[in-house]
Amino acid sequence: MIDLSLTDAQLALQKKVCAFADEHILPVAAANDAHHHVDEKIIAGMAREGWLGCTIPPTYGGLGLDYVSLAIIAEEIERGDAAFRTLLSVHLGLNSMALLKFGTEAQKQKFLKPQAQGQTLAAFCLTEPDAGSDVAAMTSTAARQPDGSYRLSGHKRWIGYATMAGHLLVFAKTDPRAGHRGISAFVLERGMAGLTTRDIPHKLGLWASSTGEVFMENVPVPAENRIGAEGHGFKIAMHALDNGRFTVAAGALGTIRACLEHSVAYARQRKTFGQEIGRHQFVQDMIAKMVLNLETSRLLVLQAAWLKNQGRRDTREVSLAKWHATESAFSAANDALQIHGNKGFSHDESPIGRYFRNARAPIIYEGTTQIHKMMQAEHALGYRALNGPPEMVS
């Protein structure tokens, strides 16, 4: 039985992150966005609170919190600005949580601990110019050397916080003929010879975040930096996505909530034809849709959190939550923009345009909406079992 009530500790956390967003993120969000400024003071604040390692056990420098708490943090941070929830997704959901599951004790001490403490930022490098949804199409290679080390070559693109990360979890082929079974995972450390990064300019949104490229030219990587066995990279990436997508879905609740709150406030204040626009049924239709989508998205996120808290694999439930919540967030932002009329179209008169632009990316990353629809349909049709056989429970 899923109990939806929050514990006292979760309620206190919610209050704290909510206050952090109100005091530190929202007052500077418009300026950070307009100046394409990655605000490292906000990142340092999140690190100080331990949120960048909130679900990592204290032994490895984290807070050891549960997944409902992670969802709370993601939602409140995205209500401020999705740029910082994006960091939580790549640093913690996609990278650190994968190290926790698949890293050796030595790797956890060396890489995970500083990440959980927020001393080193971490990125997740799967996508390439010619390989997005089709992960197995990647052409990055990891050539094994006679001494057991590797040489990595290739180009990763559209990587969150690539230029700021000290540790990059990179996927490359150790056996280019073996399709997805030939992919392996490595931690690359900033400063390694032949490793360079650069930011991608002129993005549609997420202007206060960093999104970049990773270039690897014969980068020497010691065997100790390989995560899991050779050929296990695809499995590691898919597991990582189950956690990353969870944070994306939870974050989307923050966008829906912000759009709903702004829309309600504006609809009760703006008058046309002698009454508040909130009295017009077409406006009520948009508000009602936001309410329904917020509630249904939250239920899907909490269902996934409940499964995760029990250590159960939840690929199917996370996919549903991510698909529905991110589409709902974009729809809420679009409707909020409509409700605000010309003020919604202005950077100076409302924050809605920022939510609208930022809500577009999550429909593309961590599995496009089409990929999630395909996953759900194939599962329903019996062509694949998204949560795997029972012995594969994560």
Ligand X SMILES: Cc1cc2nc3c(=O)[nH]c(=O)nc-3n(C[C@H](O)[C@H](O)[C@H](O)COP(=O)(O)OP(=O)(O)OC[C@H]3O[C@@H](n4cnc5c(N)ncnc54)[C@H](O)[C@@H]3O)c2cc1C
> Taking the complex as a whole, how short is the minimal distance between the CB of residue 315 and ligand X, in angstroms?
16
Segments of 106-149 assigned E as strands: 122-125, 141-144
Nearest to 172 by CA among 95, 120, 236: 236
- Select 109 or 369, whichever has its Cβ closest to ligand X: 369
SS3 306: helix
SS3 197: strand
Residue 206 lies near ligand X (rule: CB under 6 A)? yes
Q: Residue with CB nearest ligand X?
A: 132
Annotation says 217 is catalytic: no
Q: Which of 50, 62, 80, 160 binds ligand X (CB under 6 A)?
A: 160
Residue 364 lies near ligand X (rule: CB under 6 A)? yes
Nearest to 368 by CA among 209, 200, 135, 85: 135
Residue 368 lies near ligand X (rule: CB under 6 A)? yes
- Select 290 or 361, whichever has its Cβ closest to ligand X: 361
Q: Which of 127, 163, 315, 326 binds ligand X (CB under 6 A)?
A: 127
> Taking the complex as a whole, how short is the minimal distance between the CB of residue 161 and ligand X, in angstroms?
7
> Taking the complex as a whole, how short is the minimal distance between the CB of residue 372 and ligand X, in angstroms?
9
C-alpha–C-alpha distance, residues 157 and 85, integer Å: 20
> Taking the complex as a whole, how short is the minimal distance between the CB of residue 90 and ligand X, in angstroms?
5
- Select 47 or 90, whichever has its Cβ closest to ligand X: 90
C-alpha–C-alpha distance, residues 152 and 172, integer Å: 7
Size of the site for ligand X (CB under 6 A): 21
Strands 141-144 and 122-125: unpaired
Sign of CA dihedral 368, 76, 315, 293: negative
Nearest to 74 by CA among 135, 120, 139, 20: 20
- Select 126 or 287, whichever has its Cβ closest to ligand X: 126
C-alpha–C-alpha distance, residues 323 and 341, integer Å: 28
Q: Which of 87, 126, 250, 267 binds ligand X (CB under 6 A)?
A: 126
- Select 118 or 278, whichever has its Cβ closest to ligand X: 118
C-alpha–C-alpha distance, residues 149 and 220, integer Å: 7
* Active site residues per annotation: 366
Which positions lie near ligand X, rule CB under 6 A? Answer: 90, 124-127, 132-134, 158-160, 206, 211, 361, 364-366, 368, 370-371, 374
